[in-house]
Structure 1
Amino acid sequence: MTFDNYFDAQFELRYFEMNKLGLATPTIILGLLEETAADHSYSIGHSLFDLVNKNAGWVLVSGVLQMDRYPNYKEKITIRTWLSSYSSIRGYRENIIYDENKKIIGRAKGLWVFFDIERRRPIPIFNEIRERWSCFDKESISGDIKKKISAVDLPDYTHQFRVNRYDTDTNRHVNNIRYLQWVIESIPEDISENYFLHKIDGRFIHEAQYGDTVLSLTSELDAKHAFAHTIKIEGSDKVCATAKTLWKKY
């Protein structure tokens, strides 16, 4: 892909980021995608910590990640990111993940909203950010990430978690990575041990707060090795996130 309006970040996968097969975990990949976005912000003079000091931040409202394979221990990868479009309050961030041989091993896309941390609502993107963030209208992966994903009503598998302080980030809400971990924990052991997460498509609906107890609800779909997921607050009808996952044999 040849164009000028992208940002590249390189990473070398470390031991504690591996699973028992010596492969990076899905949560690590999501973490590296967020690190790349943070580095991109820093490169234009607007680090996420600077934004926090201005009572502003970015929140992911929907996204999709697809991995053809996960990188190995000590493997060097490059994540290329760019903005494909944005409006006054939100933008679409595209990502392509390359291995050491410049072969594409993964793709991701996210819809991010700029928001007021104290008031917990969207605000216009600062002009100085819009001026320095040019965009390129090429998509990294196809699909409508605004389309609703229905909540699970009758789960086949359920796990319970308490929201601790370490689950929250600088925006004072539960980080996206934690939701992915909660989803994976409710996957049947036979799947999690023998298959890898090929694709996850998720929507973030309401915030979970420190001290909440959340339920991770998972149901099997008709397609083979495919599941629907819901994260909700225990004892209420409040749905925090919904998702669909597809798993492939190692």
Structure 2
Amino acid sequence: MLAYRAQPTISLPTSCLSWNRPELRSGGSNKSLRVGVKHPKCTKVVGNYNIGSGNPDSDKMHDMLHGRMVAEGTVFQQELVVRSFDVSGDSKMSLVALANYLQDTALNHFERIGVLSDGFSTREMSTRDLVWVLYKTDIAIDRYPCWHDAIQVHTWMYELGKNGLGIDWSFSDLKTGEPLILASSSYMMMNKKTRRLSKFIEEAKKELKPYFMPEWSPMIENTKKLQVINIDTTDFTRLGSSPGWNDMDMNQHVNNAKYFEWILEGTPSWIMRSHQLSSTNLEFRKECGMDATLKCLSKMVGNYNSESDNSATGHNNEGLIEVEHSLRLDSGLEVARARTLWNTKHPDN
């Protein structure tokens, strides 16, 4: 169902955070890092941790916090720590948090190579009112990082066909180098004024080509087409989902992570309790704006007897559950479709 390609060779050790980590020394001896913060009602200095603009190590600090280019400038690398607001009830990173990190590291990648402009676009695209919009994304999860885990993210881009941009991600444990998560996404250009898709303009190709991974195609390839769900044969329906102002992104449509949240909300709760998401494929069909009302439809693939007997037939992998999803406006128009695969929960996963 999902085909995987080998990851690009990155000639740096897994613990390469130390490659650009500045030496931070606490106390008054390190004056270059000691800039006090004064409370408006106090005369004494509170803390000694802010970094002044004249600090000679500020570039290294920027690298540590915002990432750096490696592998001869074709791969962007960034380190993250899983925060309490990134995790769900089992103290593991949520799918919504993961989707946000995919978006954030991609934007940081564009910013680092110096082409990021207004929204998710290059300078040449911005002058023509063009932005990148996500067309589809595939995610495969081997192990979820937990609260306080330090993870390392590598991301790279490549030309996808004549009109698309491909971006891949690899998440690994910073301490052990263990691979955790792989993801591949496809982007298309959209005109912000007409809201119509556009061709990949040559001016933008020239901006990005020096940073493309040469002769590369998506690391995860979805070999099974996502099917249209017949509303009369769905197994689970959730009504009344609606985005608000905080769900909008810089391109003035619903943030990508919100779609993953809707998919999970439209998944039967008994699956969430007994299984853990191992992979998902999401395709966007239509833009969704604020105040829209959606239906979240889910259909089980295979034969499921009941909620009390969650056995499945017709599957090669014992305990694996496959669910097809559709997000539709009240008018019936489909805004996205997806597939999720769920494995039985294990304590070490």
When normalised by structure 2's length, the TM-score is 0.66
Render the CA deviation track for 1:56-81: whole Å, top value 9, x for unaligned.
Answer: 32111111001011101111111111
Q: How far apart, CA to CA, are the structure 2 residues paired with 1:57 and 1:104?
A: 32
Match for residue 336 of structure 2? 241
Aligned to 2:118, the other structure's residue is in SS state: helix
Match for residue 9 of structure 1? 78
Structure 2 contact 278–343 (Cα < 8 Å) conserved: yes
Structure 1 contact 115–121 (Cα < 8 Å) conserved: yes
- Corresponding residue to 1:193 among 245, 269, 273: 273
Match for residue 48 of structure 2? none
Structure 1 contact 95–140 (Cα < 8 Å) conserved: no
- Corresponding residue to 1:129 among 207, 229, 235: 207
**Bigger radius of gyration among the two:** 2
Give RMSD over aligned pairs.
2.1
| More moved, 50-59 vs 209-218 | 50-59
Structure 1 unaligned residues grouped into runs of 5+:
none
Render the CA deviation track for 1:62-113: whole Å, top value 9, x for unaligned.
Answer: 1100101110111111111112433553111111111121111111111111
* Structure 1 position 48, deviation (Å): 5.0
Alignment pair present for 1:102 and 2:171 = no
- Corresponding residue to 1:180 among 249, 260, 283: 260
Render the CA deviation track for 1:103-135: whole Å, top value 9, x for unaligned.
Answer: 111111111112221111233342453244322
Structure 1 contact 44–129 (Cα < 8 Å) conserved: no
Structure 2 contact 326–337 (Cα < 8 Å) conserved: yes
Match for 1:12: what amino acid? V
Match for residue 112 of structure 2? 43
Match for residue 227 of structure 1? 323
Structure 2 contact 138–222 (Cα < 8 Å) conserved: no
* Structure 1 position 138, deviation (Å): 4.4
Q: How far apart, CA to CA, are the structure 1 residues paired with 2:117 and 2:222?
A: 27
Match for 1:171: what amino acid? N
Structure 1 contact 148–203 (Cα < 8 Å) conserved: no
- Corresponding residue to 1:157 among 233, 236, 258: 236
When normalised by structure 1's length, the TM-score is 0.91
Q: How far apart, CA to CA, are the structure 2 residues paired with 1:165 and 1:241?
A: 20
Structure 1 contact 92–110 (Cα < 8 Å) conserved: yes
Match for residue 88 of structure 2? 19
How many residue pairs end up in the alignment? 248
| More moved, 130-139 vs 29-38 | 130-139
Q: Cα–Cα, structure 1 residues 48 and 156, in superposed 2: closer, same or farther, change >3 Å?
A: farther
Q: How far apart, CA to CA, are the structure 2 residues paired with 1:121 and 1:148?
A: 24
| More moved, 62-71 vs 81-90 | 81-90
Structure 2 contact 160–186 (Cα < 8 Å) conserved: no
Q: How far apart, CA to CA, are the structure 1 residues paired with 2:300 and 2:161?
A: 37
Q: Cα–Cα, structure 1 residues 182 and 48, in superposed 2: closer, same or farther, change >3 Å?
A: farther
Match for 1:158: what amino acid? T
Which structure has more relative contact order (CA 8 Å, sep 6+)? It is 1
Match for residue 154 of structure 2? 80
Q: Cα–Cα, structure 1 residues 139 and 80, in superposed 2: closer, same or farther, change >3 Å?
A: farther
Q: How far apart, CA to CA, are the structure 1 residues paired with 2:246 and 2:98?
A: 19
Q: How far apart, CA to CA, are the structure 1 residues paired with 2:147 and 2:118?
A: 30
Structure 1 contact 82–136 (Cα < 8 Å) conserved: no
Q: How far apart, CA to CA, are the structure 2 residues paired with 1:70 and 1:133?
A: 29
Match for residue 66 of structure 1? 140
* Structure 1 position 140, deviation (Å): 6.1
Q: How far apart, CA to CA, are the structure 2 residues paired with 1:218 and 1:225?
A: 12
* Structure 1 position 249, deviation (Å): 2.1
Structure 2 unaligned residues grouped into runs of 5+:
1-7, 11-70, 303-314
Aligned to 2:221, the other structure's residue is in SS state: coil
Structure 1 contact 94–139 (Cα < 8 Å) conserved: no
Q: Cα–Cα, structure 1 residues 179 and 48, in superposed 2: closer, same or farther, change >3 Å?
A: farther
Q: How far apart, CA to CA, are the structure 1 residues paired with 2:219 and 2:277?
A: 17
Q: Cα–Cα, structure 1 residues 131 and 85, in superposed 2: closer, same or farther, change >3 Å?
A: closer
Match for residue 119 of structure 1? 194
